[in-house]
Amino acid sequence: MDPAQLLTAERALHRRAAMAGEAASAAGVPGRFRAWEHAGSLAVLATDPALAYLSTVTGVTPETLPEVAGLLRSPEWDGVHPAVVAPAGLPVPGLVPAGERFLAVRGLEPTPASPGEQADAEVFVRVLLTGFGVTGPVAEFMAAEHRLPIMRRFLLREGETPIAAAGMTIDAGVAILGAASTLPEFRGRGAQPTLLRHRLEAAAAEGCTLAVATARPGSPSVANLERAGFRLHRRTAWTP
């Protein structure tokens, strides 16, 4: 895939993270949130220890790498040590590898159609959080993010019972696939592949030309994304 498309995908994810942080701050989620750009790299900060996984530096390329050290010295981090997420094979001086991640990207053909029905926000959030089994600041952050007015919320039902949830936002023709979960008692029935297909159809109907998601190697999401035609770009997380 064209490196410019990968950067477009990473920038769309970064803007989504910025909006999620603003929503979390407005909802009173613990800690301080900020997203900013430094010499081409994309920084996201969340200071509460429970949300440490959100603190990252992305958009790292051979061209932007020389400025990463300066970014990491910024007082903005306030003692937080973000993960620097770089393409596989691009070492980050002074840091050590701490696991791998995937940036999943797929091109879309716009297919004008009527938008689908929007799921009730509170029902959606309840199913999503129950499926993840999260509590505390993580649950509060996810709830704030998925109550955003721009969030497209998809629910899958079995009869009248909502059994799975998945979110999506759209940013300048890029569909950003967000969190998705299935209630434990309904897993193994193909709920997530179905919701993935529904989101891609909705994105194409709204004129999107690109879809992006993130995933960790070995997770069920990886197989679902591959089957749905996504190309997986391996990234390495680097930490002190």
pLDDT tens per residue across span 146-185 = 999 999 999 999 999 999 999 999 999 999 998 999 999 9
Read off the pLDDT of residues 20-60 as tens digits, 9 standing for 90 and up: 999 999 999 999 999 999 999 999 999 999 999 999 999 99
Contact 207, 110 (CB under 8 A): yes
Any residues with CB less than 8 A from the CB of 130 and at least 6 apart, and which? 181, 183
Nearest residue to 83 via CA among 68, 73, 98 = 98
Distance CA 119, CA 146 (A): 11
**What does the pLDDT look like over 102-131, one tens digit per residue?**
999 999 998 877 666 678 999 999 999 999
The rounded distance, in Å, linking the Cα atoms of 177 and 26 is 23
C-alpha distances out from residue 113 to 1, 91, 149, 202, Å:
27, 45, 21, 8
What pTM, to 2 d.p., does this model score? Answer: 0.93
